[in-house]
Amino acid sequence: MINIEPIKAFNDNYIWLLTTNEGSIVIDPGEATKTIKYLKENSLNLEGILITHHHFDHTGGIEDMLKFKSVDVYGPVNNISRINKQLKDGDLFSLIGIDFKIIEIPGHTLDHIAFFSNNNGKPILFCGDTIFSSGCGRVFEGTFEQMHESVLKLKSLPVNTKIYAGHEYTQSNLQFAMEVEPLNQKLISRYNDVQNLLNKGIPTLPTTLELELEVNPFLRCQTSEVQKSVVKKFNTSNHEDEIFKALRQWKDNY
Ligand SMILES: [Zn+2]
């Protein structure tokens, strides 16, 4: 059994805390104070830190976490010197009884990786700033083609995969998605669900791949609904790469 809790940081970041009977690990500790407080209050034993990409809001707490307890830091090959377990595509490792597989997903940053676990048929994915609920990350370092390819890699995971993203962007993402697909009824019902959750202060994550296939325009570039909408606005071809790029640029300026 894995217990997975979000620790809210900054405006809208989630630091994910995973606990089994073998201990706890944190994913993307952008800050340490709240994370350490949570560990202490719940008498949890930190056994490792996992990093998806180098951005400060995902890594800024590493130093202080290591002062609290010296543990291994797993992450991509980048300039974060505290990462002592550097990981590449296809790498496998096990921590607190969870078997992880690394998926390289460049685009948002060039070093970006995701942590996937099949978790005995209840798959879980930690994908940082690559897929959000109803959205995807901005393309800062890679190309649009790279980002699209990375999104497609994640899209090929089992549909029951629970997706733990790095930010609570769901509501604003859904507003954009409804602009792209005004007739998508699933979007409207997800929007209502999300408003109810947020009103109660409950995170809208994790989401599932099954739901994202219905409500995330960046995972729907092959559908005629998204294609028609993008082609109408930008006069692009309906090549999936071009649809993805135009959609991402549309969102950037939304
Ligand atoms: Zn980022």
- The pLDDT of residue 33 is 97
Task: Report residue 90 as tokens.
Answer: 């296809």
3-state secondary structure of 23: strand
Output the pTM of the full model: 0.97
Q: What is the pLDDT of residues 79-96, one digit of tens each?
A: 999 999 999 999 999 999
What distance in angstroms lies between residue 177's CA and the mean position of ligand 1's atoms? 21
What distance in angstroms lies between residue 173's CA and the mean position of ligand 1's atoms? 16
Query: Which single residue is written with the structure tokens 């995973």?
Result: 18
Q: What is the rounded radius of gyration, in angstroms, for the C-alpha atoms of the chain?
A: 18
Average pLDDT over residues 29-46: 98
CA distances in angstroms from 24 to 27, 31, 49, 217, listed in the order given? 10, 17, 9, 34
Q: Supply the DSSP symbol for 211.
A: H
What distance in angstroms lies between residue 140's CA and the mean position of ligand 1's atoms? 9
- The pLDDT of residue 137 is 98
Q: Cis link prior to 217 (omega < 30° from 0)?
A: no
d(CA 208, CA 167): 15
∠ CA(187), CA(190), CA(191), 5° rounding? 85
Residue 37: exposure state from Cβ atoms within 10 A (0-12, 13-18, ≥19): exposed
What distance in angstroms lies between residue 95's CA and the mean position of ligand 1's atoms? 24
Q: Which residues contact 117 (CB under 8 A, 6 or more apart)?
A: 98, 99, 100, 101, 123, 124
- The pLDDT of residue 148 is 98
Q: Supply the DSSP symbol for 167.
A: B
d(CA 250, CA 225): 16
In this structure, the strands spanning 46-50 and 23-27 are parallel
Q: Supply the DSSP symbol for 130.
A: S
What distance in angstroms lies between residue 22's CA and the mean position of ligand 1's atoms? 29
What distance in angstroms lies between residue 251's CA and the mean position of ligand 1's atoms? 16
What distance in angstroms lies between residue 254's CA and the mean position of ligand 1's atoms? 19
d(CA 250, CA 231): 12
- The pLDDT of residue 139 is 98
What distance in angstroms lies between residue 176's CA and the mean position of ligand 1's atoms? 20
Q: What is the pLDDT of residues 198-220, one digit of tens each?
A: 999 999 999 999 999 999 999 99
The residues placing their C-beta within 5 Å of ligand 1, an ion, are 55, 129
The answer to whether the CB of 103 falls within 8 A of the CB of 131 is no
Residue 133 CA neighbour count, 13 Å, CB half: 25
Q: What is the pLDDT of residues 53-77, one digit of tens each?
A: 999 999 999 999 999 999 999 999 9
Range of the domain at 92: 3-252
3-state secondary structure of 107: coil
Nearest to 113 by CA among 89, 145, 141: 89
- The pLDDT of residue 235 is 93
What distance in angstroms lies between residue 55's CA and the mean position of ligand 1's atoms? 5
3-state secondary structure of 63: helix
What distance in angstroms lies between residue 56's CA and the mean position of ligand 1's atoms? 8
Q: Residue 52 sits in a domain of what CATH number?
A: 3.60.15.10
- The pLDDT of residue 190 is 98
Per-residue pLDDT band for 194 (boundaries 50, 70, 90) equals very high
Q: What is the pLDDT of residues 125-176, one digit of tens each?
A: 999 999 999 999 999 999 999 999 999 999 999 999 999 999 999 999 999 9
Residues making up the chain, counted from first to last:
254
Instruction: Give the chain's domain count.
Output: 1
What distance in angstroms lies between residue 97's CA and the mean position of ligand 1's atoms? 28
Average pLDDT over residues 121-128: 98
What distance in angstroms lies between residue 93's CA and the mean position of ligand 1's atoms? 24
d(CA 163, CA 212): 9
- The pLDDT of residue 232 is 96
- The pLDDT of residue 97 is 98
